[in-house]
Structure formats: C-alpha cells, structure tokens
C-alpha cells in the first residue's frame, strides 16, 4: 500500500492518522503541491485526478480522503472509525462530512492562485479569508459536540476526530482564537496525546522541511 501525500495537506493528514490508528503498514510517497508535482505527467499517470491524498492498493487508486477512510474502515475493521448503532454511525458520518467539507470548502490551491494572480489579493487578505471560513464552520461544529465526551463521539477517536484535527491545525496556523471553541480545543488536545495523531502531524512528516 502506498500513500501519496504532502505534509500540510489536510486530506493527506486525515489519511495518515487513519493508517496509524489501524497500524497499517504503508509506503509514503511525497508529492509537493507547492512545486505543482500533482500536475506532473508521472503523478497523473498514477492518479488522473491529480488529487492528494491518493492511496494505491492492489485494487487500484483511491484519491478522495473520505472514500479512502471508509474503505480502510471496512477493509481493516480493527480500531473502527465508524462505530455504534446505525443512528450513531450516521451521526459520525454527518459530523465528519460537515467538518471535512463545510469549514473551509474553498481554501485550496486553485482558489488561492486565483485570488493572488487574477484578483491581486495580498497575503493578509487571504489569511482573513481562511479565518472566516474556519470560524464560521467551528461555530456550528461547537454546537454539535457533547462537552462530556473526550472525543467527537464518546471516549475513543472516530472518523469525525480524524477530520477535525487537521482543521484545528490550520486554524492555529492562521491565528484563530481557539478559546472561543472550548469543546473543539479539548478534543484536539485529547487526540494529540495519541501517538497515531501526533505521528501524523505535518511537522513530523519527512517533507516538512
């Protein structure tokens, strides 16, 4: 199994966490987004979508993080990421999609390049753009969480926590005031006490420098 990843890609961060939680042996291949390596002929021959992360398995290549995570959970049921009753599983999926897709859905390289090159937006304005979407999303997610839980659902990490941690990492990078979201901040702290999350963090990746 081979994961095509970049250290600061939120989606790749999610997949690294899941692979660690499930103790799945894998090879890591670095695709540098800042050098546009995801658009190179060699990578596109492996993954025509040019998306990161991409997971290459005996079955082929998957390149959407949530699809990868669900496949991993079905294929490697130990340390389940989606657990409980049918209703609880639906709640986990609901929160996971909200975190992954709605907090900052337009913060990607294409949008940032358009803001810079076509609209002449400066770095501070782009950072404000980031903070806006993160804060709008966090306000809603904070209301969906139970303050008595260590994680998004109960006392073990699930798919929702895997989606949340990279978003909090980005929020801290862009100076979002996390004291406004105490439940989210507490979950982030609990998650990062686990080696599976800590080892997957961007600063601990081989391409981080």
Cα 186 vs. chain centroid, distance in angstroms? 18
Note the pLDDT tens digit of each residue in 91-143: 999 999 989 887 765 566 677 778 778 888 887 887 888 888 889 999 999 99
Alpha helices in the chain (DSSP H): 10-21, 41-46, 65-75, 86-97, 109-113, 123-144, 159-173, 182-192, 195-200
- Tokens for 175, please give them: 């100076």
Mean pLDDT (the chain, rounded): 91
Is the peptide bond preceding residue 126 cis, with omega within 30 degrees of 0?
no
Note the pLDDT tens digit of each residue in 43-66: 999 999 999 999 999 999 999 899
Four-way CATH pick for 86-197: 1.20.1050.10, 3.40.50.720, 3.40.228.10, 2.70.98.90: 1.20.1050.10
CA distance 90 to 158: 12
Question: pLDDT at position 168, please?
Answer: 94
CA distance 105 to 22: 28
Q: Where are the domains positioned within the chain?
A: 2-79, 86-197
The answer to whether 148 and 187 have CB atoms below 8 angstroms apart is no
Share of the chain above pLDDT 70, in %: 97
Superfamily in which the 2-79 domain is placed by CATH: Glutaredoxin (3.40.30.10)
User: How would you list the strands of the sheet with 54-57, edge to edge?
Assistant: 27-30, 2-5, 54-57, 60-62
Q: What is the DSSP letter of 101?
A: I
Question: pLDDT at position 109, please?
Answer: 67
Confidence band for 72, pLDDT divided at 50, 70 and 90: very high
Question: pLDDT at position 76, please?
Answer: 96
């Amino acid at each position: 199994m081979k994961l095509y990843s970049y250290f600061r890609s939120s989606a790749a961060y999610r997949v690294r966490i899941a692979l660690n939680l499930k103790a799945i042996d894998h090879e890591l291949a670095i695709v540098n987004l800042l050098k546009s390596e995801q658009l190179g002929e060699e990578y596109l021959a492996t993954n025509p979508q040019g998306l990161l992360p991409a997971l290459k398995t005996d079955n082929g290549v998957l390149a959407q993080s949530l699809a990868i995570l669900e496949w991993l959970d079905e294929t490697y049921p130990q340390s389940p990421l989606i657990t409980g009753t049918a209703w609880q599983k639906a709640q986990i999926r609901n929160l996971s999609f909200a975190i992954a897709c709605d907090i900052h859905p337009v913060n990607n390289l294409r949008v940032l390049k358009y803001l810079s090159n076509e609209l002449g937006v400066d770095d501070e304005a782009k950072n404000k753009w980031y903070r806006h979407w993160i804060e709008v999303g966090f306000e809603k997610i904070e209301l969906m969480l139970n303050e008595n839980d260590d994680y998004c659902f109960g006392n073990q990490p699930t798919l929702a926590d895997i989606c949340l941690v990279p978003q909090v990492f980005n929020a801290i990078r862009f100076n979002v005031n996390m004291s406004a979201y105490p439940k989210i901040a507490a979950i982030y702290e609990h998650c990062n006490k686990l080696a599976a999350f800590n080892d997957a963090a961007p600063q601990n990746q081989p391409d981080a420098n």
